[in-house]
Amino acid sequence: MADTEDTTTDAVASAATSTTQSATQETADDFDKDRAMATIKQLRAFEKDAKAKIKRLQEIEAAEEERKSADLSELEKTRKALEKLQVEHATAQTQLARARIKDAAQATATAQGMTFAPGALDDALDLGKFADLTIGDDGRVKGMTDHLRLLQKERPHYFVTIKAEPKDIGALERGKESSTPDPGKLAQRFGIRLG
């Protein structure tokens, strides 16, 4: 803006200098007062027009700066929204991977006859014991069986052994009561008529 004013001032000064030089070249006898007044009026009109144009230029520059600022703020809002979505996406991906690994570990352990101690699977996940496993495009965890065997060797306290009581298969044949009550005996015991 200051450069524009300096340029205008220089232009006015240059026009005035050229007018002054042409006037001094003429002799004092040739001085034409009307022509000098016309030149002065032209210079004043030029200066007035230049001031109006400078003011308009300043308004345009201010409007352009405001527009750029508005565009930048919209861009900044969009960037922040994108960053937020990226963080949410990464968090969701991490949670999904953790859930898949946990489900695969539980299923594989059950298939192998292993049982995790309460909270052990979550502890193993928190400690990164399954960090080197990969999840395929189909959503399946690769190498879980070998990983669980290795984990059982490294940390046997993560697993518990459940002792199953042997079932008495021949109990009915020997006359022992079965674990499933007879509906007829129940009806008779409680006075209910079947029929």
Render pLDDT for 16-62 as a digit per residue (tens, 0 to 9): 565 555 555 555 557 888 999 999 999 999 999 999 999 999 999 99
Residue 54 CB neighbours (<10 A): 15
Does the residue 121 lie in any domain?
A: yes
- Bridge partners of residue 141, in order along the sequence: 135
Residue 179 within a domain? no
Q: Would you state the pLDDT for residue 164?
A: 57
Domain count for the chain: 2
Whether 76 is in a domain gets the answer yes
Between CA 122 and CA 130, with CA 128 as vertex, the angle to 5 degrees is 85
Give the DSSP letter of residue 112: T
Phi (first) and psi of residue 116, to 5 degrees: -75, 140
Torsion angles phi and psi, residue 129, rounded to 5: -70, -20
Q: Dig out the tokens for 84 from the structure.
A: 């937020």
pTM: predicted TM-score of the whole model, two decimal places: 0.46
**To the nearest whole number, what is the mean pLDDT of the chain?**
80
Alpha carbons 92 and 95: distance in angstroms, whole number? 5
> What is the SS3 assignment for 135?
strand
What pLDDT does 130 receive?
A: 86
Q: In terms of domains, do 105 and 82 share one?
A: no
Residues 156 and 132 in one domain: yes
**Dihedral pair phi/psi, residue 26, rounded to 5°:** -75, 155
Residues 6 and 55 in one domain: yes
Q: Residue 54 is part of which domain span?
A: 2-18+32-88
105, 121 Cβ separation under 8 angstroms: yes
Q: Do both 68 and 102 map to the same domain? A: no
Assigned domain for 68 exists: yes
Q: Based on the domain organization, do 60 and 105 belong to the same domain?
A: no
